Structure 1
Amino acid sequence: MTGSLTPGKQADLLVVEADAINNMPLNDPVGTLVLGADPRNISTVMVAGRTLKSDGHLLGVDLDELRRQVTASRDAILKTVGS
């Protein structure tokens, strides 16, 4: 055991949907987590007790602005390399 979850402690926590179709059948929970699960299976993320993702949705992220920034970055890279 590496730690505990108790009131007053900070913790990082991932909730993984092990019953998703890409993990069926769930024979070995550890094996499923290590070998079968991928980011789409993460439904909740908590960092230092703060929820960053809930019910599969990022919290506090302006996806339209992020999409704009990522697209601008890609365009700048392509312009630099001459594609």
Structure 2
Amino acid sequence: MSMMHVIKGLQNAGPNLTPESMIKGMEQIKNWEPEGVGAPVTYGPNRHHGVNASRMGQAKNGKDTILAPFTIFKAHF
């Protein structure tokens, strides 16, 4: 899933990639849900950690089941 974040950041950065454009590309990601498989992700100038949510699920007999919705945790840094 982290690679999906990088791809989105690269797309946002545009064709002239620099370290600065990549950072800005990542910081443009706001409340993004990568293909519906993860919790909403937000990056910003003071928020480079991305995900701060989790949910409970179960895999049984080859089938995934969501047991609880995402819980969003307050970022501590």
TM-score between the two structures when normalised by the length of structure 2: 0.28
Structure number with bigger Rg: 1
The structure with more strand, counted as a fraction of residues = 1
TM-score between the two structures when normalised by the length of structure 1: 0.27
Structure with bigger RCO (C-alpha 8 Å, 6+ apart): 1
